[in-house]
Amino acid sequence: MPHLIAPSVLAANFGQLDKDVEMLNHSTADWIHVDVMDGRFVPNISFGFPVLHAINKVAQKPLDVHLMIEHPELYIEQFRAGGASVITVHYEACPHLHRTVEQIKATGAQAGVALNPHTPVAFLSEIIQDLDVVCLMSVNPGFGGQKFIAHTYHKIKELKALIESKESGCLIEIDGGVNQDNAPLLLAAGADVLVAGSYVFNSQNPAQTILDLKQIKK
Ligand SMILES: O=C(CO)[C@H](O)[C@H](O)COP(=O)(O)O
């Protein structure tokens, strides 16, 4: 399967979010990654429902909604109603992860689970068959523009082995500090979806940058 590119609108220009989403519509981006932060699970606050609705009005690509929030189970249906196609919750925020994953799937959305950099891949061994996406955080969540953490490569390999051993069809998504230098190595290690925020939106030509990431050979 060709890899997917999911630009993160956390790094978009807020004065022209609608124009940036229009640009993504006409680009080779596959998904639009929306980071939701609550100021509790992570030390930053980003989008809530009104912004998600505004993005969804313009977006013609699936919205990949990443919930960096405590108690995500309280809001799953609202995020789905706001246009989320993929809903990703954090392993570290979900004591009843199986129930929360079932709740996401019951809405018709694809279910993702994100792991912080320090969380072992093996913690997903009993739920990997139920997941559509595993998002490996390659920075500590909360902010765009951080430095990529290199031990992500070995987590990708471990996750790939777990997915194969359990015959799961889930995708491996990498989020944080992705750029043209590390993207080929991430894909070679087994990544399927690359989230990129500042690398795309701070570039001279974001659509071309997305195309360049898309055209990397595995
Ligand atoms: O939200 C994030 C961390 O919580 C991500 O880093 C963001 O989705 C991507 O931004 P960047 O490519 O600038 O790291």
Q: Over the stretch 106-161, which tens digit does the pLDDT of each residue have?
A: 999 999 999 999 999 999 999 999 999 999 999 999 999 999 999 999 999 999 99
Q: What percent of the chain clears pLDDT 90, i.e. is strictly above it? A: 97
The pLDDT of residue 15: 83
Indicate which residue of 35, 64, 132, 192 is catalytic: 35
Rounded Cα gap, residues 34 and 201, in angstroms:
14
Number of H helices, E strands in the chain: 8, 8
Please state the pTM of the whole predicted model: 0.98
pLDDT band at 11 (very low <50, low <70, confident <90, very high): very high
Q: Are strands 110-115 and 133-137 parallel, antiparallel or unpaired?
A: parallel
Q: Which residues, 6+ apart, have CB-to-CB distance to 5 below 8 Å?
A: 28, 29, 30, 31, 193, 194, 196, 210, 213, 214
Q: Does the Cβ of 138 fall within 6 Å of ligand 1?
A: no
> What is the 34 CA–ligand 1 centroid distance (Å)?
10
Assess whether 30 carries a catalytic annotation: no
Q: Do the Cβ atoms of 35 and 47 come closer than 8 Å?
A: yes
Q: Does the Cβ of 32 fall within 6 Å of ligand 1?
A: no
Assess whether 212 carries a catalytic annotation: no
Which CATH number do you get for residue 96?
A: 3.20.20.70
Identify the domain containing residue 102 by its residue range: 4-214
In the chain, how many domains are there?
1
143 is an annotated ligand-binding site residue? yes
The pLDDT of residue 14: 77
